[in-house]
Amino acid sequence: MTKNEWEQDLEQRELEKKAHNRGYRAGVKTEGEASKRVELLENVLLEFVGYDDKCLQTKPGLLKRKRADLVDQIIYQRQLMRELYNHLDDDVRLKLRTKVESHIWPVTHSED
């Protein structure tokens, strides 16, 4: 192997090493994001099924989370509530809507 071939081989190995490291870092980042997403979904589902307070997130635990994670969790909760609401019967849906509206606008519903 000549010196020139050896230098080209060394350069090629360095490029492959850098490409491998970029791919590894990207994979680790993706895995971290996926595990956060799974954790958020688990928390939403645990709150949905009504676990005891000891199993739910505490205020200090929520304060440790990033704002973006909290926003994602709220969006998941909204989607879950909307899905449940859509599965209700029409009369139950109307009663629930009236009850919610009476809490939001008590003056207009107390006159009815």
Report the pLDDT value the prediction gives residue 91, as an integer from 0 to 100: 93
Containing 106, the helix (H) or strand (E) segment is: helix 106-110
Which tens digits make up the pLDDT trace of 59-82? 887 888 889 888 988 888 888 888
What is the signed CA dihedral for 86, 89, 90, 91, rounded to 10 degrees? -140
Predicted TM-score (pTM) of the model is 0.50
Cα gap 93→98, rounded to integer Å: 9
Report the pLDDT value the prediction gives residue 55, as an integer from 0 to 100: 65
**Spans in the chain with pLDDT lower than 70:** 50-55, 109-112
